[in-house]
Amino acid sequence: MLFARVVGVGALAALILVSGAWGSWRNAQYVVVGKGHEHGTVRLVACGDTDCTGPFSPKGSARPRAKVTVSLPVRHHVGDSVSVVLKPGGDTGVRDGLGGLLFAFVPFGGALLLAAAVVALGLRVPRTAWSLAVAGAALLGGAFLTL
């Protein structure tokens, strides 16, 4: 019975971590593997609740665009310029740099916190649970500080 609990709870914790990493990778891949993607800046002209739009000024061989949409936290305001990487085949950008990387990995930080609770309650391995929790809190805290 102990073996089944360890395997079951371990598989659940692993599933939570893989899901968080998978969810984060959808946006993080453009920041991590920036080679071959269009880089530039977006001057924000309109901001809604979850995203901002503006003209795209390219760096290098990218082409300028009249309107690019970027998901940004609340700290950014109309008139700001934000460094972005464009997703292929569209006019959607992902924030570039350390702040963009940490913001893209927010789902993984949440998964680390959730997996810490599962490990603490299901496996009763406090050091591993605390390690997961501290890593998740550090990732979320870093993302908050670089908004």
Per-residue pLDDT of 84-129, as tens digits, reads: 999 988 889 999 889 889 999 999 999 999 999 999 999 999 999 9
pTM: 0.87
- Tell me, what's the pLDDT at 15? 97
For residue 65, what are the contacts with CB-CB under 8 A and spacing of at least 6?
Answer: 55, 56, 86, 91
- Structural domains in the chain, sorted by start: 12-31+105-145 (no CATH), 34-96 (2.40.50)
- Tell me, what's the pLDDT at 138? 97
User: Does position 73 have pLDDT exceeding 80, yes or no?
Assistant: no
Distance, in Å, from the CA atom of 14 to the CA atom of 111, rounded to the nearest integer, reads: 10
Mean pLDDT of the chain: 91
Distance, in Å, from the CA atom of 123 to the CA atom of 116, rounded to the nearest integer, reads: 10
- Tell me, what's the pLDDT at 74? 66
